[in-house]
Amino acid sequence: MPAEGFEDAVLAVLGRLSPGEVITYGEVAAEAGFPGAARAVGNLLRRTTEPVPWWRVVAAGGRLSPYGRAAQARLLAAEGVEVTPSGRVAAMSRRGGTP
């Protein structure tokens, strides 16, 4: 389990995301000050009741979540993010790289 303050730090990172921005679980963890805690970010997103933009967080390589993939793709598309038929973000808009 990550150190105290993890949840608040992760929620703060997620709260700063703008529509159309996409970030990986690992990037969220690192930006929150907990590098290597990507899996813990996913666990937090699954259990939190806070209204966070969970759909803007993807796995390494731009892969959408296997849970709620259709909803995630729909929400990202509504923000102008292109999702490939194989369930990946076509271009990572937050870091400027491509998956």
Domain range annotation of the chain: 6-78
Q: Which CATH number fits domain 6-78: 1.10.10.10, 1.10.3720.10, 3.90.1150.10, 3.40.462.20?
A: 1.10.10.10
For residue 45 the two structure tokens come to 């997103």
Cα torsion at 52, 27, 90, 56 (round to 10°)? 0
pLDDT digit string, tens, across residues 43-87: 999 999 999 999 999 999 899 988 889 999 999 999 999 999 999
Query: pTM of the predicted model, to two decimals?
Result: 0.87
Percent of the chain predicted with pLDDT > 70: 89
- Tokens standing for residue 47: 């259990």
